[in-house]
Amino acid sequence: MATETHGADTQVADVAHGAAESVGMPQLDIATFPNQIFWLLVTLVVIYFLLSKIALPRISSVLAERSGTIMNDIAAAEELKLKAADAEKAYDAALAEAKAEAHRISLETRAGIQAELDVATAKADAQIAAKAAESEKAIAEIRDGAIESVKEVANDTAKEIIAALGSSADARTITAAINARLKG
């Protein structure tokens, strides 16, 4: 009997073990569904309150801060853009004024240089005219001196030629003949 009792015990253990295996996964056991649904709802409510009271306010404050920073940066960029446009207009106006001033200065300088050049040219022309007059006077003196020298040489040569020919002529006749010949 001992073997039979032992066999019956193994059968009971095998039946209990088989029943546990036949149920399957405990999550899918219908008997535990109400308990699982309760804890699911408790967990969802806890997660909802954690998110709505802690995480989401922090996230929304970070997003609001970022949005405010971005808006401030955009406003500052617009202000700087307007300042840059004003600075560019001021630069263009200053550049145009500087160009006009440079043009005016160049015209004044050119006029001053031209006036100095005209004065220097007039002075040089006067000096040239004076030198030319002096040169003409010197040339006239040289010419007169040359004519006198030619007359003397012609007079001496004519006397020598006449004497060589064996004739004689007075000095007045020779001078009158030389003067007539020089006049044309």
Q: pLDDT tens digit string along 110-148?
A: 999 999 999 999 999 999 999 999 999 889 888 888 888
Site of tokens 């030198």: 131
pTM above 0.85, yes or no: no
| pLDDT average, residue stretch 80-99 | 95
Q: Hey, what amino acid is at 94?
A: A
First and final CA of the chain: distance in angstroms?
Answer: 194
Predicted pLDDT of residue 144: 83
Torsion of CA 9, 10, 12, 13, to 10 degrees: 120
For the chain, domain boundaries? 41-183
Provide the phi-psi class of 168: left if phi over 0, else alpha when psi is between -120 and 50, else beta.
beta
For 1-43, how does the pLDDT look when each residue is reduced to its tens digit (9 = 90+)? Answer: 455 555 555 555 554 455 445 557 888 888 889 999 999 999 9
pLDDT at 70 over 50: yes
DSSP characters for 79-99?
A: HHHHHHHHHHHHHHHHHHHHH
